[in-house]
Amino acid sequence: MNETYTDLSTIARIGRGAEAENLANAMYSRLFVELESLETEQWNLVTVCEPWTVADMARHMLGAARGHASVAELVRQAVYGRRHRARFGGNDMDAMNALQIADHADLDPARIIAELRLVAPRAVTKRMNRPGPIRRMRLPMAAGGSTAAGMPASLTLGDLFTVILTRDVLMHRIDIARATGRTVRMDATTEGRLIEDVVVEWAGRHGQEFTLTLTGPAGGRYQSGAGGPDIELDATGFCWILSGRSEASHPLLETRVLF
**Start-to-end C-alpha separation, the chain:** 31
How far is residue 73's CA from residue 229's CA, in Å, rounded to a whole number? 46
The pLDDT tens digits of the residues spanning 136-157 come to 999 999 989 999 999 999 999 9
Mean pLDDT, residues 40-58: 98
DSSP 120-161: HHHHHHHHHT--HHHHT-EEEPPSSTTPPTT--SEEEHHHII
The pLDDT tens digits of the residues spanning 208-227 come to 999 999 999 999 999 999 88
Mean pLDDT, residues 175-199: 97
- Residue 99 pLDDT: 98
- Residue 3 pLDDT: 63
- pLDDT bracket for residue 2 (50, 70, 90): very low
- Please state, rounded to an integer, the average pLDDT across all residues of the chain: 96
Q: What is the chain's alpha carbon radius of gyration, rounded to the nearest angstrom?
A: 18
